[in-house]
Amino acid sequence: MSRLDALRQHSLVVADTGDLDAIRRYQPQDATTNPSLILKAFELPGYQELIDDVLSEARNEGGDLAERTSQCVDRLAVAMGSEIADVVPGRVSTEVAARLSFDTQASIRKAHELVELYARRGVGRDRVLIKLASTWEGIRAAEVLEKEGIQCNLTLLFSDAQAQACFDAGVFLVSPFVGRVTDWHKKESGRDYAPTEDPGVNFVHGVCARVGRGGYDTVVMGASFRTIDQVLALAGCPRLTISPALLEELAAEEGDVKKAVELPDTTAPLAPLDEPTFRWEHNQDAMATEKLAEGIRRFADDQQTLETLIAKRLTA
């Protein structure tokens, strides 16, 4: 048995890519995308006809170029997500623009627009997760959306405060990051870490323990892996979103996978965090503060690059 198949015995596998060929090859339960992954997919041959169709529709509408370009990014994300939804049995995560990470009401409006775009393509909200950055404002937007029956994936999660606020808000799924946490600690300490002491792995173990002890319904999905050792060290985490390169490594290796994460029995939820406490506790974590800001900037930069590419195609 491959280690990928063995891993599936303990965790739901999610594809961290927009590449349809990779998704078909590894048959994940779900797929998750972000502006960086869509930017990569923008160059894939399999998407060119779909991209041309989206751009043609935008050209026919006319109007302000900047507005059309921004709308094209959303339509392209949904068009790609709809293609992915035809391949995976579960859900597709689609991201709200990073520039809205500190605007609750704008994030809610954008989520509604994305859900409506999916509906026009015949993809129901039960197949979609709206992806939001785990800022205070993003979490508040998710709280509203969840009550409306629009389930969310809270990403760029690096601190216990972010995790707790997401649990308090009743979000469907959180994506605590592994690789970026470890990257920061390696840079600070100048050393490498064995899987048993890996800071990113241990962070996600802590998030799983917190959700189990509190009896929260939120699903934990480990994300941002650098190595298969990090992946295997989180076998048993409810979901793991894994890049095609690491999926290929796991599929190529034979062997068993031991369950590494056990969610503890329920005791009692922790007291909910108010905004000042959330901001203070998150601020006290230098790694989380830096990585959240960096992640939002990176996604925003990739969104801008996408918009620039689309604007050139629209005016060609």
**Residue 267 pLDDT more than 80?**
no
| Mean pLDDT value across residues 269-293 | 96
% the chain with pLDDT above 90: 76
What's the DSSP call for residue 175? E
Nearest to 130 by CA among 166, 167, 93, 181: 93
Helix residue ranges, H only, 171-227: 179-189, 199-214
- Active-site annotation holder among 131, 186, 291, 312: 131
Length of the chain: 316
Give the model's pLDDT for residue 184: 98
**Residue 36 pLDDT more than 80?**
no
Predicted confidence band at 70 (pLDDT cuts at 50, 70, 90)? confident
**Token code pair at residue 141:** 């937007």
| Mean pLDDT value across residues 228-255 | 97
First-to-last C-alpha distance (Å) of the chain: 51
- Residue spans of the domains in the chain: they are 3-315
> What are the contacts of 265-272 at 24+ separation with CB within 8 A?
265/212, 265/213, 266/212, 266/213, 266/214, 266/215, 267/213, 267/214, 267/215, 268/213, 268/214, 268/215, 269/167, 269/214, 269/215, 269/216, 270/164, 270/210, 270/214, 272/164, 272/168
Give the model's pLDDT for residue 153: 98
The structure's pTM equals 0.94
Nearest to 138 by CA among 172, 106, 113, 164: 106
Asked if 259 is an active-site residue, the reply is no
3-315 is a CATH 3.30.70.120 domain:
no
Residues 174-233 pLDDT 10s: 999 999 999 999 999 999 998 889 999 999 999 999 999 999 999 999 999 999 999 999
| Mean pLDDT value across residues 104-116 | 98
Q: Which helix (H) or strand (E) holds 107?
A: helix 104-120
